[in-house]
Amino acid sequence: MTSKHEAVSPKHGAMIPDHEVMTSDHEAVSRRPVRVRFAPSPTGKLHIGGARTAIYNWAFARRHGGAFVLRIEDTDPERSTPENTAQIIRSLHWLGLDWDEGPERGGEFGPYLQTERFDSYRETLEHLKQHDAVYPCFCTPEELAARRERAMTSQTYSGYDRTCRSIPSEEAAVRIAAGEAHTWRLKVPLDRGPVTWDDEVFGRVSVPADQLDDFILMRSDNTPTYNYVVVIDDYLMQISHVIRGDDHLSNTPKQILVYEALGAEIPRFAHLSMILGGDGKRLSKRQGATSVELYRDRGYLPQALLNYLALLGWSLDGETTLIDAEGLTSNFSLERVSKNPAVFDKAKLDWMNSAYIRELGAKAFVDWLEPWLVDWGFTREGRVAWSWDADADLCLGSAERALRFGRPASPEEVVADVTAHRAWYEGIYPLVCERARTLAEVCPMVAFLFSGEAVLLDERSMEKCLRFEGVADVLTRVITALSDERLIWREAAIEAALRALPEELGVKPKTLFQAVRVAVCGNMVSPPLFGSLELLGREHILTRLENALQPSSPLVPLSQTPCPAPVSRPLSSGVSQNS
């Protein structure tokens, strides 16, 4: 191992006296500056499990005034892509997580992509060679596989049997010089007792040494293994706490052995329990194990997703369910992280997101809604209508929509219209803030506001509310009341005018209001009627009511509405705030 007086310097690979190397006990580590890292592999998109790990690292760093480091572990050449790296960074930005060191920011412990750090892995390996901490292994994959199969058949130890450990160094050097393929294995001390550490979440963990073989650090193609590079990176970056998923528990004893071989300070470890689905099994994509950006594209607010993921394994006091980023970073502690698996509950996420929508206020709501308006091509004076599966769960993004009539406005037209008529768009907020679970649900809820003088009818609603005897008299009287120029076009005045009519006409209030609702909004289920009437405007209201009296009017059932062009696209096509 290291000599009696030397150890590798964390920053430069130089030698420093061993009295400067701190011990790995809790008290010593607690005196270190807090430095944590999130180290995703860009082999795919950032999913919620990884996002939760990032949130916990970020919150822990902010709570203790430490550094949050983003490091990209991109050493898988077949699956790691720049596109995935960019997606991970976008997702973290969208969640509101900022890092102190890493891509886009740099830092004194960089580079922060593993593929740019290979020199440090080779240099450290040379150091380990000099201190007799590693040895070359010439066993071929076929030989190793055969031994493993024999061991399993005889039910004996199936790990590496240390065949090459006893090869004299002179012989090994000759074979290497001759070009014989070889790996480099860590020389685990034969008298090493159990590898034990105090996990910040799971408590005391101990792994018998006889379960650990002399594992490979450098492959025969000169690429380093995960359990080697992660230690070198964490060590050189002076990481104080390693907070990660419990799927890495089995890696920890091996990594501790590498730290010991380097004579390096061992960080504190905190392993986070997995997230389960409602069936108690590992979370599947069907149950919620999807990417962060997919939640974004389904209309979830980043502050809501941040809040929800933070509570999947951590709690403030066991009761508080809504906690913003400031509250999280002010109160987060590993002591309140549970070692029991968390259960992903989409219904709770929907509820939490709706709570955050209610807290937005009209101004912020329009800011968040604008990209969705762009996606649907909606403008205040536009005339466009889409149809979609009314039974689809818009929070799942599973529905398709098809253009029924009109021309969707261009993104530039939508943005200009929102800017010019900001107050009108803010009027949408009170119509939906108590009803929308996600932003994806808003445009379908208020689509009737953007179809001009016509509206698409839900056939079931039409049959129930516009096909009763006397409906013509009801709608005619409503038209007369709303046409009165003395009527101030405000929600309260409109409501008062219409509430006076049922008794006069001898019909139930529900009958009248549902007829108006369907004729104007196209559906029995819609946002508050009187606020919708105010926002839609007197001219469009009267035209739609008059159309409802005409058999050949543009007011026709969805099933009979011609689609002039085969335009269709996902109900939420990925347009979102801060994308």
* Segment 154-209, tens digit of pLDDT: 877 768 989 999 999 999 999 999 999 999 999 999 999 999 999 999 999 999 98
* Segment 506-555, tens digit of pLDDT: 999 999 999 999 999 999 999 999 999 999 999 999 999 999 988 554 44
Residue 117 inside a domain? The answer is no
Residue 518 inside a domain? The answer is yes
pLDDT on residue 147: 87
Q: Please indicate, yes or no, whether residues 404 and 365 belong to a single structural domain of this protein.
A: yes
DSSP lists the bridge partners of residue 342 as 275
pLDDT on residue 269: 98
pLDDT on residue 285: 60
Residue 124 inside a domain? The answer is no
pLDDT on residue 62: 98
| Region of residue 209 (left: phi > 0; alpha: psi -120 to 50; beta: else) | alpha
Show Cβ contacts of residue 391 under 8 Å, excluding neighbours closer than 6 positions.
none
**Domain end residue (candidates: 327, 357, 387):** 357
Q: Please indicate, yes or no, whether residues 433 and 376 belong to a single structural domain of this protein.
A: yes
* Segment 312-333, tens digit of pLDDT: 999 999 899 999 999 999 999 9
Q: Please indicate, yes or no, whether residues 349 and 367 belong to a single structural domain of this protein.
A: no
Q: Please indicate, yes or no, whether residues 446 and 489 belong to a single structural domain of this protein.
A: no
CA-angle at 520, arms to 517 and 524, nearest 5°? 35
Extract the residue ranges of the chain whose pLDDT is less than 70: 1-30, 158, 285-289, 390-399, 551-579
Q: Please indicate, yes or no, whether residues 371 and 405 belong to a single structural domain of this protein.
A: yes
**DSSP 8-state code for residue 528:** -
Q: Please indicate, yes or no, whether residues 416 and 445 belong to a single structural domain of this protein.
A: yes
pLDDT on residue 567: 37
* Cis preceding linkage at 371, omega within 30: no
Q: Is 346 a catalytic residue?
A: no
Q: Please indicate, yes or no, whether residues 555 and 464 belong to a single structural domain of this protein.
A: yes
* Segment 469-514, tens digit of pLDDT: 899 999 999 999 999 999 999 999 999 999 999 999 999 999 999 9
The residue type found at 58 is: W
Q: Please indicate, yes or no, whether residues 433 and 463 belong to a single structural domain of this protein.
A: no
Measured in whole angstroms, the distance separating CA 397 from the mean position of its chain's CA atoms is 15
Q: What's the token pair of residue 428? A: 């949408």
Query: In terms of residue numbers, what domain contains 552?
Result: 459-560
The residue type found at 24 is: S
Question: Are 320 and 332 spatial neighbours (Cβ–Cβ below 8 Å)?
Answer: no
**334-339 contact pairs (CB < 8 A, 24+):** 334/60, 334/200, 334/201, 334/241, 334/243, 334/270, 335/200, 337/56, 337/200, 337/201, 337/270, 337/272, 337/313, 338/201, 338/273, 338/313, 338/314, 339/201, 339/202, 339/203, 339/273
pLDDT on residue 394: 62
Residue 229 inside a domain? The answer is no
Q: Please indicate, yes or no, whether residues 445 and 490 belong to a single structural domain of this protein.
A: no
**Domain end residue (candidates: 388, 421, 450):** 450
Of the residues 285, 339, 363, 508, only one is catalytic, namely 285
Q: Please indicate, yes or no, whether residues 437 and 482 belong to a single structural domain of this protein.
A: no
Q: Please indicate, yes or no, whether residues 346 and 382 belong to a single structural domain of this protein.
A: no
Q: What's the token pair of residue 249? A: 């528990």
Q: Please indicate, yes or no, whether residues 429 and 475 belong to a single structural domain of this protein.
A: no
| Sign, CA torsion 495/499/501/506 | positive
Residue 548 inside a domain? The answer is yes
CATH number, domain of 520, equals 1.10.10.350
DSSP line for 212-235 = ----EEE-TTSPBPHHHHHHHHHH
Residue 514 inside a domain? The answer is yes
**Domain end residue (candidates: 302, 332, 357):** 357
Residue 532 inside a domain? The answer is yes
Q: What is the spatial distance between Cα 335 and Cα 9, in angstroms, rounded to a whole number?
A: 31
**DSSP 8-state code for residue 104:** T
Phi, psi torsion values for 456, nearest 5 degrees: -80, 135
Measured in whole angstroms, the distance separating CA 453 from the mean position of its chain's CA atoms is 40
How far are the Cα atoms of 288, 406, 449, 467, 468 from residue 456, in angstroms, in the given order? Answer: 33, 12, 11, 16, 19
CATH number, domain of 302, equals 1.10.1160.10
DSSP line for 111-157 = --BGGG-HHHHHHHHHHHHHTT-EEEE---HHHHHHHHHHHHHTTS-
* Number of structural domains found in the chain: 3
Residue 373 inside a domain? The answer is yes
> For the chain, what percentages of helix, strand and coil (3-state, to nearest 5) are there?
45, 15, 40
Q: What is the spatial distance between Cα 38 and Cα 243, in angstroms, rounded to a whole number?
A: 8
How far are the Cα atoms of 60, 71, 217, 361, 428 from residue 369, in angstroms, in the given order? Answer: 32, 33, 51, 12, 10
